Amino acid sequence: MSQSDRGLRRLAAGTLLVSFQGTTAPAWVLRELEQGLGGVTLFGWNVADPGQVLELTTALRGAGEPVISLDEEGGDVTRLAYHAGSPYPGNAALGAVDDVALTRRIYRAIASELVACGVNLDMAPSADVNTEADNPVIGTRSFGADAELVARHTVAAVEGLQSLNVAACVKHFPGHGATRVDSHLAIPVVDVGLDVLRERELAPFRAAIGAGARSVMTAHVAVPALTGETPATLSGAALTGLLRGELGYDGVVVTDALDMHAITKSVGLAGGAVRSLAVGSDLLCLGPVPGYDDVLAIIAEIVAAVGDGRLPAQRLEEAAARVAALREWFAAPRPAADEPGAVGLDAARRAVRLTGTAEPLVEPLVIEVDTPPTIAVGEVPWGVGPWLPEAEILRIAPASADVPGLLAKAVNRSLVVVVKDAHRHPASREMVSALVAERPDTTVIEMGLPVWRPTGAAYIATYGAARPNAQAAVELLTA
């Protein structure tokens, strides 16, 4: 391989954020970092404890200058606390409180943990305006359905993260809140006019850019008025025309995971990588599925695309320059991180809402209605069990629920039913309604969005399923 070919391969590799299984870095990742690989994205399976993550990131930095990223949103989406649940409430709870100083404190606390673990880019916050209640992928990850509220809290989140030199990655541009389809599975459509898009979906991104957000993540959503049937990740109209041009953004553009079906089932992984670079992306998050062979194939395809003219070399050099500028920003002196505190629980207590009267608990039977997690959240633990040690806890899927049997088991006992996004799960609503119809003294705890409420029951809304959300709900029950 000639020197120019090696230089081109290094540029191509420098656009990639790869992932891997396990809690130590594979030899191929370290080898590729030495040859210019852009960085890595960590997931829950890469995490055992903070000390282990620091050892891992130290090994990665010893091999190169990697961007080390993960999704640490607080609330339901967490990687550092994947095995226990986040100690911080998520955006829906923060939006319900609507105190931007609190949001800034929460995200600075998250940044403190990331700094201690050697992570330099947080794929957060979600700046999506969640106008579609049935949205299967955003929901409690959003600050709310009001564009101005989402905008001011997005700015606070960016400021909190970046106050400790952890780059924010504001997502999912140009907005994923008005969709009913999970882009992990298909291409969602945001079917609004450009005037609505500019006024509503873009308001938080415009505010974040004004606040100096170091990176923006693309969405695999089609906006017919802007991109036609093409997802924004692959659209020059979205990334070059709108984000770079109209909004004047000159920071790093990061793709959402390219292994999602919206990309792989349309143009393929390598094809999506080339097309996204060509229209304005700088860092390609490959997602959790692609392995080393895929990485090599993508690098080869990017190099080939430069050779045959599909990808201008200047565009690749531009991407490399933006990522280099981000690395320089990482290296700047940072203020001392804060000591861990109770800010997460304080925020959850301010967010939780009780409607009706929760009766004192007597030999409580707690039924947690089990529903499948979204791909973005994964198998993160949730529920109230750790804070109700005296209770009998049953985790039951609606399809297998024996309602008469449960009611018989609850005779002369307090009945508490815990749900998560019941409005999106008809079987959950049916199960809860059947229980409440016979036991109107039931207390229902909703740990997702409080869109649906059963008639008659006392109702606690937590606005999320993080550990402090659950604790705050139990405190209301036992006060």
Give the right CATH number for 3-331 from 3.40.50.261, 3.90.1150.10, 3.40.640.10, 3.20.20.300. 3.20.20.300
- The rounded Cα 92 to chain-centroid distance in angstroms is 12
Kindly report the CA angle at 59 between 56 and 62, in degrees rounded to 5? 150
Q: In whole angstroms, what is the distance from residue 91 CA to residue 100 CA? A: 11
Single-letter amino acid code for the residue at 268:
G
Strands (DSSP E) found in 42-110: 67-70
- The residues facing 254 across adjacent strands are 217, 283
Structure tokens at 449: 């969005």
Q: For the chain, how many residues are written?
A: 479
| pLDDT for 6 | 81
CA neighbor of 318 nearest in space, from 396, 252, 392, 387: 252
State residue 67 phi and psi, 5-degree precision. Answer: -75, 125
CA neighbor of 76 nearest in space, from 144, 138, 147: 138
Token pair 């990131």 in the structure block, residue: 57
Outline where 332-466 has alpha helix (H).
343-351, 403-409, 426-438
| pLDDT for 471 | 98
Helix (H, G, I), strand (E, B) or coil at 291: coil
| pLDDT for 1 | 57
Query: Cα torsion for 449, 452, 455, 460, to the nearest 10°?
Result: 0
DSSP string, 12-69: HHTTEEE--SSSS--HHHHHHHHTT--EEE--GGG-S-HHHHHHHHHHHHHHS--EEE
Kindly report the CA angle at 131 between 128 and 137, in degrees rounded to 5? 55
| pLDDT for 2 | 60
CA neighbor of 418 nearest in space, from 403, 402, 432: 432
Element spanning 52, H or E: helix 50-63
Q: In whole angstroms, what is the distance from residue 353 CA to residue 371 CA? A: 23
For the chain, which residues make up each domain, given as ranges? 3-331, 352-478
Helix (H, G, I), strand (E, B) or coil at 444: strand
| pLDDT for 355 | 95
**Average pLDDT by stretches of 10, the chain with 479 residues:** 77 97 98 97 96 98 97 96 96 98 98 96 98 91 98 99 98 93 82 96 98 97 95 97 98 95 87 96 95 96 96 96 94 77 94 93 96 87 94 94 96 97 95 96 97 94 98 94
Q: In the 8-state DSSP scheme, what is residue 373?
A: P
The domain made up of 352-478 has a fold known as Rossmann fold (3.40.50)
| pLDDT for 456 | 86
Q: In whole angstroms, what is the distance from residue 84 CA to residue 90 CA? A: 15
Catalytic residue positions, numbered: 184, 256
